[in-house]
């Protein structure tokens, strides 16, 4: 069969078009972000402009007790938006808790979900907003099932760490507390993110430290990601610069408004970076030990981050050298290898400076569990964008190194 001149032309044009788009990328972010002290007072007018009539507030129990919902409630009231509150959120929300929250949302009939609190509250709010109009379960979504969010979604963080307010990801614990569901969907991106550092003033030093290192991990893993792009790189680099400067101050003097504001923006930038570029081996591993041994997510990241950076250095030494520049520890007389080592060393020092552990020896991690943990980490979605291929033996070796530190 002969090929016509038009068919040849079509094939050539298709090849050229596909080659051109290989260098492209997409970048997702919330349609609107409000930032600044007191910005929660604008949530009512913002939702009213979107046609919202009733809101469903999902909040940490502690956040409710501290009165951190007051400004949001006043704003909703002034805009004539009624609301219901679900404030039973605890650390590491389970699929069962999400189901209870979803049932209450269905009963109240709200057309907007507002998550207020740490990562647990925001992740729960995002999950129920996606599930409310779907027959899918959390397990279904984690396995790749599709769902479309129809209600509006607002995310208001009270800690500077998870970046959940600007990501298309949610993480929910299985009911057996042994594994975590990691769900990624464009419909998990909030319609509105609000950064009000005033809500973060009372966060205790230990929580400030853990959430801050979580944000640093997001930024570093996004910067090293195999799917990074120019915008995610810029966001990650800027986030690292802000965190190394502001986190020690926020931990040591939690009433410092400038440090709190900088950390809120840094976590936001890191969230934008990893939501669009992906994460890596630190998160793939921390999800496993966090679920199995109840190690707080930021603490698990803090322990693993320097070791994983050292493992990844084989394939991304120049990127680590750039991270050293962002951290202010690179010198002109250093080789690229020395700059990369400086970045890893500065990361380990920052973890110690803010009072977080650098060893798994303090936790009930059993050596006989390491092979299972490694296999589970290999199946974690976060591993897909790690810059270096990791085998089960590699992961076991990293866990073992973190166990042997004293």
Torsion angle defined by CA atoms of residues 44, 169, 225 and 177, in that order, rounded to the nearest 10 degrees: 130
| Residue in the block written with tokens 């940490």 | 60
Q: What is the DSSP string of 282-301?
A: HHHHHHHHHHHH---HHHHH
* Angle value at C-alpha 221, between 149 and 309, nearest 5 degrees: 155
Cβ distance 197 to 39 under 8 Å? no
Q: Domains of the chain, with CATH numbers?
A: 32-200 (3.40.50.1970), 205-404 (1.20.1090.10)
Structure tokens at 128: 């129920």
| Residue in the block written with tokens 């792009």 | 229
**Cβ neighbours of residue 257 closer than 8 Å, sequence gap 6 or more:** 37, 197, 198, 201
Cβ distance 54 to 105 under 8 Å? no
Beta strands across the sheet bearing 82-89: 32-35, 192-195, 152-157, 112-117, 54-60, 82-89
Neighbours of 6 (CB within 10 A): 8
pLDDT in tens, the chain (406 residues): 566 777 767 776 766 665 555 567 788 888 999 999 899 999 999 999 999 999 999 998 889 889 999 999 999 999 999 999 999 888 888 999 999 999 999 999 999 999 999 989 999 999 999 999 888 888 888 888 888 899 999 999 999 998 999 999 898 988 877 778 888 889 999 999 999 999 999 899 999 999 999 999 999 999 999 999 999 999 999 999 999 999 999 999 999 999 999 999 999 999 999 999 999 999 999 999 998 999 999 999 999 999 999 999 999 999 999 999 999 999 999 999 999 999 999 999 999 999 999 999 989 899 999 999 999 999 999 999 999 999 999 999 999 999 998 7
pLDDT at position 302, please? 98
Q: What is the DSSP string of 217-266?
A: HHHHHHHH-TT--HHHHHHHHHHHHHHHHHHHHHHH-TT-HHHHHHHHHH
CA neighbor of 272 nearest in space, from 350, 155, 98, 389: 155
Pairing, β 32-35 against β 192-195: parallel
Task: List alpha helices for 31-182, DSSP H.
Answer: 43-49, 61-65, 70-78, 95-108, 119-131, 138-142
Residue 67: strand, helix, or coil: coil
pLDDT at position 2, please? 61
């Amino acid at each position: 069969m002969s090929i016509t001149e038009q068919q040849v032309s079509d094939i050539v044009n298709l090849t050229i078009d596909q080659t051109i788009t290989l260098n492209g990328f997409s970048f997702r972010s919330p349609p609107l972000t409000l930032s600044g002290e007191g910005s929660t007072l604008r949530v009512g007018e913002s939702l009213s402009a979107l046609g919202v009539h009733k809101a469903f507030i999902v909040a940490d129990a502690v956040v409710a007790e501290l009165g951190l919902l007051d400004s949001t409630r006043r704003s909703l009231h002034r805009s004539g938006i009624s609301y219901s509150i679900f404030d039973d959120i605890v650390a590491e929300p389970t699929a069962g808790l999400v189901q209870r929250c979803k049932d209450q949302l269905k009963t109240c009939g709200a057309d907007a979900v507002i998550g207020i609190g740490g990562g647990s509250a925001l992740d729960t709010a995002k999950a129920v907003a996606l599930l409310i109009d779907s027959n899918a379960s959390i397990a279904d979504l984690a396995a790749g099932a599709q769902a479309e969010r129809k209600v509006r979604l607002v995310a208001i963080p009270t800690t500077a760490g998870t970046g959940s307010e600007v990501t298309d990801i949610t993480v929910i614990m299985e009911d057996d507390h042994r594994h975590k569901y990691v769900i990624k969907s464009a419909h998990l991106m909030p319609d509105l993110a609000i950064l009000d550092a005033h809500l973060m003033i009372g966060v205790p030093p230990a929580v400030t430290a853990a959430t801050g290192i979580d944000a640093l991990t997001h930024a570093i893993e996004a910067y090293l990601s195999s799917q990074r792009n120019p915008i995610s790189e810029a966001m990650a680099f800027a986030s690292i610069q802000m965190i190394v400067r502001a986190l020690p101050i926020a931990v040591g003097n939690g009433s410092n408004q400038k440090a709190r504001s900088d950390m809120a923006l840094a976590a936001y930038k890191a969230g934008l970076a990893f939501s669009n570029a992906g994460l890596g081996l630190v998160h793939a591993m921390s999800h496993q030990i966090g679920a199995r041994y109840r190690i707080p997510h930021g603490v698990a990241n803090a322990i693993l981050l320097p070791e994983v950076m050292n493992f990844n250095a084989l394939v991304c030494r120049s990127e680590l050298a750039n991270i050293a520049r962002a951290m202010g520890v690179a010198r002109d007389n250093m080789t690229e290898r020395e700059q990369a080592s400086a970045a890893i060393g500065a990361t380990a020092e920052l973890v110690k400076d803010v009072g977080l552990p650098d060893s798994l020896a303090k936790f009930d991690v059993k050596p006989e569990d390491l092979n299972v943990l490694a296999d589970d980490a290999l199946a974690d979605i976060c591993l897909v964008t790690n810059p270096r291929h990791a085998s089960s033996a590699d992961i076991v070796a990293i866990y073992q190194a973190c166990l042997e530190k004293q």
